[in-house]
Structure 1
Amino acid sequence: MNPVKDIACPDAPAYKPLQIIHADDSLLVLNKPSGLLSVPGRGEDKQDCLSRRVQSLYPDALVVHRLDMATSGLMLMARGAAMQRAMNQLFERREVHKRYVALVDGRLAPAPTADGWGLIDLPIAVDWPRRPLRIIDAAGKPSQTRWRSLAFDEAANFTRVELEPITGRSHQLRVHLLALGHPILGDALYAPDTVQVRSPRLLLHACALRLLHPATGAQLSFESPPDF
């Protein structure tokens, strides 16, 4: 699907223009570039973000979920408070289905299942001495990620992996892949230096979204292929 609009920001030339993949009276689907915050952060240097850029065109646009600054790909916003509540309920009921693609260090062998999908079921907690980092901790919140190995590049020593988060914890995909022993290339927070330097950005992209339209009930499905 072609983007409805591209939004450029003259004050941030290093960022690619934002692509609005879909827009209607209820919701927006955006393609966030890596390196851009989803919402404002603390400090004057962290005020440029996806939500503010979108609100310059759609003043009623409200956030319903976030992507990490380093993650690229598809993200939803609601049009108005009532629709924000409806979409929050979809997320709470796990009726918004998301899929990601990542490149991870080393050879991640396919899961030994009939369909090739494995499950990471490891609780995640805040690493308080190093917050905002997260860790695997038995006292943490239940966290589940489905994963599937797509291809191994022997020459470059990485595996292309497809991911489906069942829960939505902060840094969940990054922490779960690290727990498998296969950190994401370019991950400045969790990967060792030898893996971090293999890419100038985090190679994690939200590539697909599927949900029922909260106003019409129509099935919505969006895709955004990664540029890696």
Structure 2
Amino acid sequence: MSTRIEKRQTVMRKAPRQARSHATVAAILQAGARILSDQGWAGFTTNRVAEIAGVSIGSLYQYFPDKLTLVDAIRRRHLDDCLSVMKKSRATERSPAEFAADLVQAMILAHSTHPGLHRVLLDEAPSSEDYRNPSSAFEVEYLAHYAQAVAIYRNRRPTAADHTTALIISDAMDGVIHNAARRGMLADPGIKDELVRLISLFLADTGG
């Protein structure tokens, strides 16, 4: 299991402002995610990240004072990518099957570039309590998108029951995709098809 960091503030030393600095930070985050995915926390060092990113270690330290700050930024970007998938998903005027198919495909793509990343972030890399908080801002917003989709197919405003259904769908989505990534099966069409079928059935159920 990953180490928990109770109160440590993991913030960037400075934020990128120009196009060049944004590109540098993006390269660092991409390299860090690749190393975590391929080599795990044990292989994750700032020197190795700088090498893979093609930047000097001094340039890396301009933005990230240590590897804990860096892994925190990688974790935020991963969560932002997943949240972006939900924000772009639209249930209105689409069948449950169409919505589920597009959502599953987009979520698989979000995990395909670095398929081992989520497991390492969850099980190996240190993290603050904020990321393990089931009531965090990310969790609330993420589940709200699912609940909204459920409510649309129930033809009503979101209810407590819809939030429960959203939690089940979200856990099913995350569990299947993360385990498929761990097993090297993200590209298996059977995994995608069965997950789409499962989510479609939940969404199509009127809830009685």
User: With structure 2 as the length reference, what TM-score do the two structures score?
Assistant: 0.26
Q: Which structure shows the bigger proportion of residues in strand conformation?
A: 1
Q: Which structure shows the bigger proportion of residues in helix conformation?
A: 2
**RCO comparison, higher one (Cα < 8 Å, 6+):** 2
Q: Which structure has the greater CA radius of gyration?
A: 2
